[in-house]
Amino acid sequence: MEEKNLEFQSELKAVPFEGLNSQEMNLIHKALGARDRSHSPYSNFKVGAAILMANGQVVLGANQENAAYPSGLCAERVAMFSAGVEFPKERMEALAVCVDERATNLPFPCGGCLQVMSEYEFKQKESLKLYLIHPTKELVYTTQSTRDLLPFSFNESHLPD
């Protein structure tokens, strides 16, 4: 059998704040504000997240740390799990994530959060837009789907019937 390369294309845009519409800016401001709800006494690194649901509601998340370190959870997953419980039948349209101003770069979600985003995209059969924000940088990273950051995810199609 011949060797093959599995290739993929990723579309990650760096957009200035002026290039975003008012609904997008509103979601970004909610993610910025959600950082105040962070429980991060160990890292002091506050991350906020905000999800725009298809019904127009916004669900917030912030990182929640724990003295037993692995028991904490990222802002994105706090927001997604909360949205999954609060609006179980509603589609997640967009997720904005904002890091602490001390971060050196624009943020990318961790692998665990990307896997959870991918699960919800699979569940709702529609993409989840991402906005990745640093409070003092002038650009926002946007993608149309989690697939741009996690092209090869594990999902229920991989499980046996």
- Kindly tell me the sign of the dihedral angle through the C-alpha atoms of 38, 40, 46, 49: negative
Q: Catalytic pick from 2, 65, 76, 138?
A: 76
* Nearest Cα to Cα of residue 102 among 24, 34, 17, 35: 35
* Nearest Cα to Cα of residue 108 among 99, 100, 117: 99
Whether 150 and 116 have beta carbons less than 8 Å apart is answered as no
Stretch that binds Zn ion, among 6-14, 50-58, 67-75, 148-156 (CB under 5 A): 67-75
Q: Which of 98, 113, 117, 133 touches Zn ion by CB under 5 A?
A: 113
- Between residues 27 and 79, which has the closer beta carbon with respect to Zn ion? 79
Closest approach, Cβ 2 to Zn ion, in A, equals 38
Stretch that binds Zn ion, among 26-34, 54-62, 99-107, 111-119 (CB under 5 A): 111-119
Closest approach, Cβ 73 to Zn ion, in A, equals 8
Tokens representing 100 are 């602490």
The total number of residues shown for the chain amounts to 161
Rg of the chain on CA atoms, in Å: 16
- Between residues 14 and 110, which has the closer beta carbon with respect to Zn ion? 110
Q: Is 47 in the site for Zn ion (CB under 5 A)?
A: no
Residues 6 or more apart in contact with residue 75 via CB below 8 angstroms: 34, 35, 38, 47, 48, 49, 61, 62, 63, 97
Closest approach, Cβ 18 to Zn ion, in A, equals 29
Q: Is 74 in the site for Zn ion (CB under 5 A)?
A: yes
76 is catalytic: yes
Q: Which of 86, 110, 154, 155 touches Zn ion by CB under 5 A?
A: 110
Q: Which residues bind Zn ion (CB under 5 A)?
A: 74, 110, 113
Would you please indicate which residues are annotated as catalytic (active-site) residues? 76
